[in-house]
Amino acid sequence: MKKNELNSVLSELNAIRNELSAEQSEQHLLKNELNSALSELNTIRNELSVAHSELNTIRNELSKVYNSRSYRITAPLRAILGFGRVQREHFLQLRSRLALKTRARNQLRKTVYLFQRIPMVAVFVEKFKYRFPRTWRKISIMVKRMIFPPQQPVVIASGSSEEESHFLNLFHREIMKRR
C-alpha cells in the first residue's frame, strides 16, 4: 500500500510541477510583454518630451516676434490689410451676385425685344393691352422693375429745412408716378 500511496503522491507532485512550469512560462511571457510595453511607453514619453521642447522653442520664437519693435510698428498696417482682405471677399461675393442679376436683366431685355420683333406675338400683345389694360400695366410695371430696379430714395439730412423736405417729397412722388 505504501508503494501505491507513494506513486500517487509522486504523480500528484509531477502534475503540480507541470502546472508550476506552465505558470512560470506564462509568467515569463507576461514579463516579456510588460517589458516591451514599458519600452514602448518610454519611447513615446521621449517623443512627447521632444515635441514639448520643440513647442516651447516655437512659442519662444513667436513671442520674440510679437514683442519685436518691427511687429509693433507694422500692427496698424496689418490691421488695415486684414480689413481690406475681408472687404475684398465681400466685394467679390457681391459682384458675383450682381453679375447674375445683370445677366438676368439683360436676358429679359433681349426676350422682350425679341417678342416685339415677332409679328404674331406683337399682335397678341396689342390685343392683350387693349382687352386687359390693368393687367398689362401690372405686368409692365413688374417687368420694368426687373429690368430697371428702383433706386434708393435720397436721405434728408437732419439739419435741412421744412421747405427742402417738402420739395424733396414732391420730387420723390413725381418720380414714383413716372415709373
Boundaries of every domain in the chain: 1-73, 93-154
CA angle (39 as vertex; 33, 43 as ends), nearest 5: 145
Residues in the chain where the model's pLDDT stays below 50: none
Provide the CA 55 distance to its chain's centre, in angstroms.
29
Single pTM value for the model: 0.36
pLDDT for the residue 43? 94
State residue 58's pLDDT score.
92
